[in-house]
Amino acid sequence: MRIAVVEGADGSGLLQAIAEDGTPAGPVERAADLAAAVGRREAAGRPRWVWAATGELYPRLLAAGVRVDRCHDLALTEGILLAADGRWGEPRSFPAAWARLEGRPVPDGTAPAPRPGQPALFDHDLPGLPDGPELLAATVAVHAGQQRRLAAGAGGVRGTAGVVPRGAGPGGLGLLVAAESAGALAAAEMAAAGLPWRPEVHDAVLTELLGPRPRPGAAPGRLRDLTERIGAAFGQPLNPDSPAQVLRAFAAAGTPLPSTRSQVLRGVDHPAVPLLLAYKELSRLHAAYGWSWLDTWVAGGRFRPEYVPGGVVSGRWATRGGGALQIPHALRRAVVADPGWTLVVADASQLEPRVLAALSGDVGLARAAAGGDLYAALAADAFGGDRARAKTALLAAMYGGDVGQLMTVLRRRFPAAVDYVEAAARTGEDGGLVRSILGRTSPPPSQGWLTAVDRAGGPDPDAAEGARARRAARDRGRFTRNFVVQASAADWALVLLAAVRRHLTGPNGPHLVFFQHDEVVVHCPREEADRVVAALSDAAEESRRLVFGDTAVRFPLAVAVVDCYADAK
């Protein structure tokens, strides 16, 4: 059973039971207290809730103590289906989906997204957007339209390479839609629970690395000291934050450089280089995670990120500020479990190479991925035991790169795997689209890309136009080569997250507090850690089976039970 729901401005709401195909299966019900009504229906039968956007409604349900098991997020589903139909870039919000269904002008979607829990559901100034019973009817209609598109097999996108097949995963788009919606529930729950964070530890780490907290607007003492030492190394004062000044200083010292990027500096023999590299690292830490970040993002001993499920084209998550997906290792010391509780940290080992093995069906690579260290097994099989060379070759295959003889060895020993990513690259170079295992579709080439290629294919292209077109084609080929692997890895991780969430009990027991690409962190009472470890293992196996079906490839999780996140690895 599914139940469509819309919220009123005063905490009231409307509900209606609907069938799996989206047709109404009961009368409209009015609820003076929507959270209470949802809680009662959830306890009675665990329906799948259908609503416009999880991030807009669910945080308020959580604040009222109501947790739901399943939902269908109309906005996230619309984004998946639009991409599958080759309509990347069209607004995916509920108002946009409803406008398309009604044949009305589609809002451009440029309004800023509401913060999670912000009481602004459908508080838009959009002509013709209904409210009350009409809003519920619109919700039901949009959902029914999405169910029809899923049943018909959204996709069949046509590019210059022909019809691009949907992902081969057993669940296809239906599983992707369910997992994406489950991920949105987890995102709201993690934001509500918060990641345990010790502000005094954070302050101590900053003080250790940067010096005492400076007054507002001033640079920390360590950065001021490095600035003076850099100037002394060049024999002239300069601002390390100014690339132009640094480049002029190197040129005056007889070492002209193309840029001040760290990889360029590391190749230069000059006493200022280690100082500049240290300054860059500490300056980034201060800017991104300094005392201002601590004041803004940590309250009540909790860091509460604002996750954006599906915020990256590959399906990986993003955040609205806070940098939750890039917490520096030094600051992980501040992530400490509550007294009597512990953190269970699990991350997938060598996920993307294993995904390639499962996607391609390459027997040799699957055999290497059936055990522990995939790169070591690959090295023993094809690279004379040299793990570094094996890793370099496989990463080049997935991300693109010229590694000469190493790729020749890889192609000879693992032809199906190499053919898989090279076919994806050729599709991208031809302007076509590729998909993940569950059907998440890559963006089409930009108009600038199409223009460059069209000009090069004109009657009299000049050499510069031809070079630009070839470079653009290669760049897009590298993107699609990696997309099929990275997006399929994101599919697996999302299904894993949904499975882990289903095994947990909520904020009073083990619960998710962090998710980052291929890593999950569970906060749990110490006595329940063993159960959580077993649940994580079961979830990984379930995800493998649902996403990849009958494959010999295994996706092991490295699991650590720790009191401090920094101790996990």
Domain boundary among 448, 464, 483: 483
Does residue 511 lie within any of the structural domains? no
Does residue 182 belong to any structural domain of this protein?
no
**Number of compact structural domains in the chain:** 3
DSSP string, 294-345: HHHHEETTEE---EETT-STTS--EESSS-GGG--GGGGGG-BPPTTEEEEE
Range of the domain at 440: 355-483
Across the beta sheet with 341-348, the strand order is 511-516, 519-525, 341-348, 557-562
3-class SS of residue 235: coil
Convert the pLDDT of each residue in 26-56 to its tens digit.
999 999 999 999 999 999 999 999 999 999 9
* Spatial CA neighbour of 557 closest among 568, 567, 565, 546: 568
Give yes or no: residues 402 and 458 share one domain. yes
Check the CA dihedral 85-90-92-98 and report its sign.
Answer: negative
- Domain match, 102 and 244 both: no
pLDDT for residue 157 is more than 70: no
Q: How far apart are CA 76 and CA 94, in angstroms?
A: 9
Q: 407 lies in a domain?
A: yes
Torsion 18-22-27-28 (CA) sign: positive
Pair 147, 252 in one domain: no
Check whether residue 150 and residue 263 sit in a common domain.
no
**Same domain assignment for residues 138 and 11:** yes
Domain contains 31: yes
Reported as a single tens digit per residue, the pLDDT across 67-113 is 999 999 999 999 999 999 888 888 999 999 999 999 988 887 644 44
Which amino acid appears at position 459 of this protein? P
Shared domain check, 382 and 477? yes
Let me know if residue 243 belongs to a domain.
Answer: yes
Residue at 166 is within a domain:
no
Task: State the pLDDT at residue 303.
Answer: 96
Q: Is residue 267 part of a domain?
A: yes
Helix (H, G, I), strand (E, B) or coil at 109: coil
CATH label of the domain that carries residue 244: 1.20.1060.10
* Residues 209 and 270 occupy one common structural domain: yes
pLDDT at 132: 78
Residue 218 lies in a domain: yes
Lowest mean pLDDT among 9-23, 61-75, 386-400: 386-400
pTM surpassing 0.75? yes
The residue out of 457, 483, 509 marking a domain boundary is 483
Same domain? For 403 and 463 the reply is: yes
Residue 476 sits in the same domain as residue 400: yes
Q: How far apart are the first and last CA of the chain?
A: 43
Task: Indicate whether 285 and 360 sit together in one domain.
Answer: no
Return the percentage of the chain with pLDDT > 70, whole number. 92
Do both 8 and 85 map to the same domain? yes
How would you label 351-373 residue by residue, b for 16+ Cβ within 10 Å and e otherwise?
bbbbbbbbbbbbebbbbbbeeee
Residue 461 pLDDT class (50, 70, 90 cuts): low
Q: Are residues 368 and 427 in the same domain?
A: yes
- The residue out of 465, 483, 501 marking a domain boundary is 483
